[in-house]
């Protein structure tokens, strides 16, 4: 067990390490009314009752936030393209939308910020949803056509692509938990089929991009939930933690590594052989840990989720709970992905924390976990903090705040949190120093233990 306060020396990162922020189209742009998330909002499914509205107003004014990122000394920014803008109706392409994305990418380059472009971040055009979403037989081809168009139009301004954000969350929260559209509950079969279809869509996109840009770097962003046994000595709890981890994290990385899914997921996944080897890097998104174990009072649940006592909790969503804030999971996820033999980026990590009481610790602990992974020989090349500005948090609307910079969505006024200065100091030094910890994480000495 090590704690942040035991950091005696400066943690320096390799030259060229990317210090960035992650964002997404629907959560930032505003005015997206042609995707399934807008329909979901109209149907009253945003728990806080909020409207996405202008979001962070990026469709008109992203450049102002790019200025802020530049002033912070960041050298990387992950943003996504809104498929429903680029292909508003099937096979119809919107040149103006692509032109706006060209401006945005150009603006990033002018500020010395390297864009990583995500091609799918949870939102589908309404026409795609109406055809069955990723359950439609030709979904991978449809996705490939869109990606081809986007890369033809933007390829001179970007060679760093993230095909799909968190296929596991899209599938699990949409088809099993029901909090994301289409709102199915317990539909295990389609949870697997959707992820498998997304893996085939990813593979088709991977090849399409490489046909246009042989030197492109193409990967995806996988969400990693961390699960540990409630009673580490119990074989049963350990087994349940292992099964939870497999069912949550494993399908996509395994398909890319081996071209197959493990039992019993292979029963529904279909042919994944073409998925094997389709990545130039892997992205880790990680936020939480849950302790799990057998709970006989909940026989309908294969495991019980609980939060470790004393562990830090973020601001919580309405009606469910998010697990323990667990930036240390970065090192664990990096170890899980290391066998792929590809560079790794932390494409997201962050915390819902309006008061900014945990965020400095979360950043410091995440940076420490990355340093640990690199010291073990893992080729980890960058960190994209979720997120630059408070943004529209899906089913939670504006009720949970992930920004380094606070936003009043009514006035669009921005107020940097202390964490923005802390992260900026790390990015500019390409290092985390003890002085920074003293200044920005004074409560590190009471902070939760960093266990691994």
Chain positions contacting ligand BGC, by CB under 6 A: 24, 27, 165-166, 169, 223, 285, 348, 386, 393, 402
Write down the least CB distance from residue 328 to ligand BGC, Å.
17
CA-CA distance, 26 to 353, in Å (whole number)?
21
> For residues 165 and 328, which CB has a smaller minimum distance to ligand BGC in the complex?
165
**Rg from Cα positions in the chain:** 21
CB of 156 to ligand BGC, least distance (A): 27
CB of 413 to ligand BGC, least distance (A): 21
- For ligand BGC, which is the closer residue by CB, 7 or 221? 221
Least gap, CB of 4 to ligand BGC (angstroms): 23
Query: How far is residue 23's CA from residue 112's CA, in Å, rounded to a whole number?
Result: 18
In the numeric block, the tokens 């109406």 are attached to 130
Which residues, including other chains, have CB under 8 Å from residue 174's CB and lie 6 or more apart? 180, 181, 182, 183, 184, 194
Number of residues in the chain: 452
In the complex with ligand BGC, the residue whose CB is nearer, 24 or 257, is 24
Of residues 133 and 323, the one with the C-beta less far from ligand BGC: 323
Q: CB of 165: closest distance to ligand BGC in angstroms?
A: 5
- Pick the closer one to ligand BGC by CB: 27 or 278: 27
- Judged by beta carbon, residue 150 or residue 389, the one nearer ligand BGC is 389
Q: What torsion, rounded to 10 degrees, do the Cα atoms 216, 206, 280, 110 define? A: 30
Q: How far is the CB of 27 from ligand BGC (least distance, A)?
A: 6
């Amino acid at each position: 067990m090590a704690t942040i306060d035991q950091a005696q020396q400066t943690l320096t990162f390799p030259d060229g390490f990317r210090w960035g922020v992650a964002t997404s189209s629907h959560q930032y742009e505003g005015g997206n009314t042609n995707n399934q998330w807008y329909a979901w909002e109209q149907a009253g499914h945003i728990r806080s009752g909020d409207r996405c509205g202008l979001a962070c107003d990026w469709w008109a004014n992203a450049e102002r936030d790019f200025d802020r990122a530049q002033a912070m000394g960041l050298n990387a920014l992950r943003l996504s393209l809104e498929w429903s803008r680029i292909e508003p109706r099937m096979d119809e392409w919107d040149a103006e939308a692509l032109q706006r994305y060209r401006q945005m990418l150009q603006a990033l380059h002018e500020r010395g910020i390297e864009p990583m472009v995500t091609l799918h971040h949870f939102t589908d055009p309404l026409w795609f949803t109406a055809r069955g979403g990723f359950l439609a037989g030709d979904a991978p081809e449809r996705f490939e056509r869109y990606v081809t168009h986007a890369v033809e139009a933007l390829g001179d301004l970007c060679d760093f692509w993230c095909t799909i954000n968190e296929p596991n969350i899209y599938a699990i929260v949409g088809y099993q938990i029901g909090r994301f559209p289409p709102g199915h509950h317990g539909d295990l079969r389609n949870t697997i089929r959707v992820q498998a279809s997304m893996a085939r869509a990813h593979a088709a996109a991977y090849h399409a991009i490489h046909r246009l840009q042989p030197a492109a770097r193409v990967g995806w962003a996988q969400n990693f939930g961390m699960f540990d046994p409630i009673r580490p000595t119990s074989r049963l709890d350990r087994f349940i933690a292992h099964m939870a981890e497999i069912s949550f994290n494993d399908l996509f990385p395994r398909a890319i590594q081996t071209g197959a899914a493990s039992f019993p997921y292979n029963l529904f996944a279909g042919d994944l052989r073409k998925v094997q080897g389709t990545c130039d890097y892997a992205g880790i998104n990680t936020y939480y840990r849950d302790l799990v174990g057998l709970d006989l009072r909940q026989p309908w649940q294969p495991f019980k989720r609980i939060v470790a006592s004393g562990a830090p909790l973020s601001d919580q969503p309405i009606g469910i709970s998010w697990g323990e804030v667990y930036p240390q999971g970065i090192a664990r996820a990096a170890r899980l992905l290391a066998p792929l033999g590809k560079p790794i980026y932390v494409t997201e990590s962050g915390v819902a924390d309006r008061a900014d009481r945990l965020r400095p610790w979360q950043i410091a602990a995440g940076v420490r976990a990355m340093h640990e992974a690199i010291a073990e020989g893992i080729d980890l090349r960058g960190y994209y903090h979720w997120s630059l500005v408070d943004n529209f948090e899906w089913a939670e609307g504006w009720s949970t705040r992930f920004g380094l910079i606070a936003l009043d969505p009514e006035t669009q006024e921005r107020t940097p949190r202390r964490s923005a200065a802390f992260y900026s100091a790390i990015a500019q030094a390409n290092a985390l120093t003890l002085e920074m910890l003293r200044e920005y994480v004074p409560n590190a000495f009471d902070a939760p233990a960093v266990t691994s």
